[in-house]
Protein backbone atom coordinates (compact mmCIF):
# COMPACT_ATOMS: atom_id res chain seq x y z
CA UNK A 1 0.00 0.00 0.00
CA UNK A 2 1.35 3.41 -1.00
CA UNK A 3 1.99 6.07 1.61
CA UNK A 4 -0.28 9.09 1.34
CA UNK A 5 0.92 12.65 0.76
CA UNK A 6 -1.31 15.70 1.14
CA UNK A 7 -0.22 18.37 -1.34
CA UNK A 8 -1.44 21.92 -0.69
CA UNK A 9 -0.69 24.41 -3.47
CA UNK A 10 -2.71 26.76 -5.64
CA UNK A 11 -0.42 26.66 -8.70
CA UNK A 12 -1.73 24.25 -11.33
CA UNK A 13 1.70 23.84 -12.95
CA UNK A 14 3.25 22.81 -9.62
CA UNK A 15 0.39 20.40 -8.90
CA UNK A 16 0.83 18.78 -12.32
CA UNK A 17 4.59 18.48 -11.81
CA UNK A 18 4.21 16.99 -8.32
CA UNK A 19 1.61 14.54 -9.62
CA UNK A 20 3.95 13.51 -12.45
CA UNK A 21 6.97 13.13 -10.13
CA UNK A 22 5.29 11.46 -7.16
CA UNK A 23 2.15 9.58 -8.20
CA UNK A 24 4.00 6.36 -9.07
CA UNK A 25 5.39 6.03 -5.53
CA UNK A 26 2.73 7.75 -3.41
CA UNK A 27 -1.01 8.22 -3.14
CA UNK A 28 -1.45 11.98 -3.62
CA UNK A 29 -4.32 14.04 -2.24
CA UNK A 30 -4.30 17.50 -3.82
CA UNK A 31 -5.89 20.55 -2.21
CA UNK A 32 -5.65 24.07 -3.63
CA UNK A 33 -5.83 25.98 -0.32
CA UNK A 34 -5.08 25.57 3.36
CA UNK A 35 -8.81 25.84 4.01
CA UNK A 36 -9.59 22.88 1.71
CA UNK A 37 -6.76 20.89 3.31
CA UNK A 38 -8.02 21.54 6.86
CA UNK A 39 -11.55 20.50 5.80
CA UNK A 40 -10.15 17.26 4.36
CA UNK A 41 -8.14 16.57 7.53
CA UNK A 42 -11.20 17.28 9.71
CA UNK A 43 -12.97 14.45 7.90
CA UNK A 44 -10.58 12.08 9.72
CA UNK A 45 -7.93 11.72 7.03
CA UNK A 46 -4.35 11.19 8.23
CA UNK A 47 -1.64 11.62 5.57
CA UNK A 48 1.89 10.27 6.04
CA UNK A 49 3.41 13.60 4.92
CA UNK A 50 2.28 17.08 3.90
CA UNK A 51 3.79 19.27 1.18
CA UNK A 52 2.59 22.85 1.36
CA UNK A 53 3.19 26.13 -0.40
CA UNK A 54 3.27 29.27 1.75
CA UNK A 55 1.67 31.80 -0.61
CA UNK A 56 -1.94 30.77 -1.21
CA UNK A 57 -5.23 32.68 -1.17
CA UNK A 58 -7.76 32.54 1.69
CA UNK A 59 -5.77 30.55 4.26
CA UNK A 60 -2.04 30.67 3.54
CA UNK A 61 0.47 27.87 4.07
CA UNK A 62 1.97 29.36 7.21
CA UNK A 63 -1.47 29.60 8.89
CA UNK A 64 -2.34 26.11 7.68
CA UNK A 65 0.83 24.52 9.07
CA UNK A 66 0.56 26.47 12.34
CA UNK A 67 -3.00 25.12 12.74
CA UNK A 68 -1.72 21.57 12.16
CA UNK A 69 1.03 21.86 14.73
CA UNK A 70 -1.24 23.50 17.33
CA UNK A 71 -4.00 20.91 16.87
CA UNK A 72 -1.88 18.15 18.34
CA UNK A 73 -3.38 15.59 15.95
CA UNK A 74 -0.90 16.32 13.17
CA UNK A 75 2.01 17.79 15.12
CA UNK A 76 4.12 14.71 14.31
CA UNK A 77 3.16 14.58 10.62
CA UNK A 78 6.22 15.53 8.54
CA UNK A 79 5.82 18.80 6.62
CA UNK A 80 7.80 19.94 3.60
CA UNK A 81 7.41 23.57 2.58
CA UNK A 82 7.74 24.07 -1.16
CA UNK A 83 7.58 27.77 -1.94
CA UNK A 84 8.51 30.39 -4.46
CA UNK A 85 8.66 33.11 -1.80
CA UNK A 86 11.45 35.61 -2.47
CA UNK A 87 12.80 35.70 1.08
CA UNK A 88 12.06 32.07 1.95
CA UNK A 89 14.89 31.51 4.46
CA UNK A 90 13.96 34.62 6.43
CA UNK A 91 10.26 33.74 6.35
CA UNK A 92 10.97 30.23 7.66
CA UNK A 93 13.11 31.49 10.55
CA UNK A 94 10.23 33.79 11.61
CA UNK A 95 7.63 31.00 11.70
CA UNK A 96 6.52 29.80 15.15
CA UNK A 97 6.82 26.14 14.12
CA UNK A 98 9.40 23.90 12.49
CA UNK A 99 9.03 22.30 9.07
CA UNK A 100 10.90 19.08 8.36
CA UNK A 101 12.27 20.50 5.13
CA UNK A 102 12.07 23.70 3.09
CA UNK A 103 12.59 23.85 -0.67
CA UNK A 104 12.58 26.79 -3.07
CA UNK A 105 10.55 26.66 -6.30
CA UNK A 106 11.58 25.73 -8.92
CA UNK A 107 12.72 22.53 -7.25
CA UNK A 108 14.77 19.50 -8.22
CA UNK A 109 12.38 16.49 -8.37
CA UNK A 110 15.08 14.01 -7.29
CA UNK A 111 15.94 16.20 -4.29
CA UNK A 112 12.27 16.43 -3.33
CA UNK A 113 11.88 12.64 -3.50
CA UNK A 114 14.97 12.24 -1.33
CA UNK A 115 13.64 14.69 1.27
CA UNK A 116 10.23 12.98 1.31
CA UNK A 117 11.87 9.60 1.88
CA UNK A 118 14.09 11.01 4.65
CA UNK A 119 11.22 12.82 6.41
CA UNK A 120 8.99 9.74 6.34
CA UNK A 121 11.75 7.46 7.64
CA UNK A 122 12.70 9.87 10.44
CA UNK A 123 9.03 10.08 11.41
CA UNK A 124 8.74 6.28 11.61
CA UNK A 125 11.82 5.94 13.82
CA UNK A 126 10.88 8.79 16.17
CA UNK A 127 7.21 7.86 16.55
CA UNK A 128 7.80 4.27 17.67
Alpha helices, H only, 77-108: 88-94
Please report, for the domain that includes residue 15, its CATH number: 3.40.50.2300
Would you state the pLDDT for residue 98?
82
Number of domains the chain is built from: 1
Alpha helices, H only, the chain: 12-22, 34-42, 61-71, 88-94, 109-127
For residue 88, the number of C-alpha atoms closer than 13 Å in the C-beta half-sphere is 18
The residue range of the domain holding 54 is 3-127
Question: Would you give per-residue pLDDT tens digits along the chain (128 residues)?
Answer: 899 999 999 999 999 999 999 999 999 999 999 999 999 999 999 999 999 998 887 778 888 888 888 888 888 899 999 998 888 888 888 887 888 999 999 999 999 999 999 999 987 655 54
Contact predicate 81/92, CB 8 Å: yes
- pTM as predicted: 0.91
Strand-pair partners of 81? 52, 102
Q: CA–CA separation, 66 vs 63, rounded Å?
A: 5
Would you state the pLDDT for residue 57?
78
Amino acid sequence: MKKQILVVDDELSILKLLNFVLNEDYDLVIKKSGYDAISWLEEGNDPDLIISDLNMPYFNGSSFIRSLKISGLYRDTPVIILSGAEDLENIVTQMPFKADSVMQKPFNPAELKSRIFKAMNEHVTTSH
